[in-house]
Amino acid sequence: MTERITFTRPDDWHLHLRDDALLSGTVPASARQFSRAIIMPNLVPPVTTVEQAMAYHQRILAQVPEGLDFTPLMALYLTQQTSVEDIAKAAANPAIIGFKLYPAGATTNSASGVTDINALADVFAAMERLEVPLLVHGEVTDADIDIFDREEVFIERYLKPLHQRHPQLRLVLEHITTRQAVDFVASANSKVAATITPQHLLMNRNDMLVGGIRPHHYCLPILKRKSHQQALQQAALSGNPKFFLGTDSAPHTQDKKEAACGCAGCFSAPAAIELYAELFFQHDAMDKLEGFASHFGADFYGLPRNTDQITLEANSWTVPASVDIAGSPFVPYWANEPLHWRLI
């Protein structure tokens, strides 16, 4: 008899869907497995207002396949011009989950990001008072800081002081990549949590660089050394509710990845829950997958846990080499590689 595991339908607490024609492929890819997802606002132009977010929200809902229940939770793009009034307006709209802090220049479409965190004290105080979460891309962008050290420096220089000044601000350090990030989140109070991506759990920088550069493994924050990967794995497998699923799935066309200056991002949505299952399976911890994927994020954000379920079957399959979206090829993360579990 084929082995199966059934558990609460998971959520994706960090997702890039892009916009317009691409939504016809990215929305169904996530809706097949996730009930809710936090939608990143780094479009061009960025989603900085409630009105822009709600228009984007409707474009996403229009692409949800019939028979599937998928709720996009909208994040607004924090800028140097974001006001206390903007925070209050977002807090009053249940479709808005929080604000995303991108340090200017840290990743794809982040040019409009924050240039002076300390100048936003009033904004952070309003978020703390109104219980509006802050979702953080935690990297400095100084040219003299090694790319492998950017997260660690950001935590010391900005995140720890921010948490000390605003201890009741609900703060999520997104797509963590280092032991230092794990230690910060684990030691902080209950208002601090972190998301972890499949690529940072399943790979380290050797997988991207040894034997030739593999552009489809290039993401930001960049893959780190094996010791950091192991720290992330321990956090995900620990059952600590501060750590939960956030794919950071970020689609780029094949030609944009395989270029002289390739884009950062791994398109993991076509096999997301199966990728996470691979890690838990490898470590004989399938009993811990439900908490990480389906419970801890909802609990942290103060949302009800999902009541429907999904089933994974122990049925080895190979992630396709390419998927077509709106007439363009996209290479998914883990392309041409086997996975032991499959969503049915």
- What is the pLDDT at residue 316? 96
- What is the pLDDT at residue 105? 73
- The number of folded domains in the chain is 1
- What is the pLDDT at residue 244? 99
41 within 8 A of 75, measured Cβ to Cβ: yes
Per the structure block, which two tokens stand in for 92? 């009053």
pLDDT in tens, 12-43: 999 999 999 999 999 999 999 999 999 999 99
How far, CA to CA in Å, does 85 sit from each of 88, 206, 220, 284? 5, 46, 31, 49
Can you give the pTM of this predicted structure?
0.97
- Which sequence positions are flagged as catalytic? 248
Known binding-site residues equal 14, 16-18, 42, 100, 137, 175, 220, 248, 252, 264
Known binding-site residues for substrate equal 16-18, 42, 137, 220, 252, 264
* Biggest distance spanned by C-alpha atoms of the chain: 61
- What is the pLDDT at residue 1? 54
Give me the CATH number covering residue 281.
3.20.20.140
pLDDT in tens, 90-130: 999 999 999 999 988 767 766 778 999 999 999 999 999 99
- 302 Cβ neighbours under 8 A, 6+ residues apart: none
Q: Which residues of the chain have pLDDT under 70?
A: 1-2, 106, 109-110
14 within 8 A of 246, measured Cβ to Cβ: yes
- What is the pLDDT at residue 47? 97
Q: What range does the domain containing 67 cover? A: 4-343
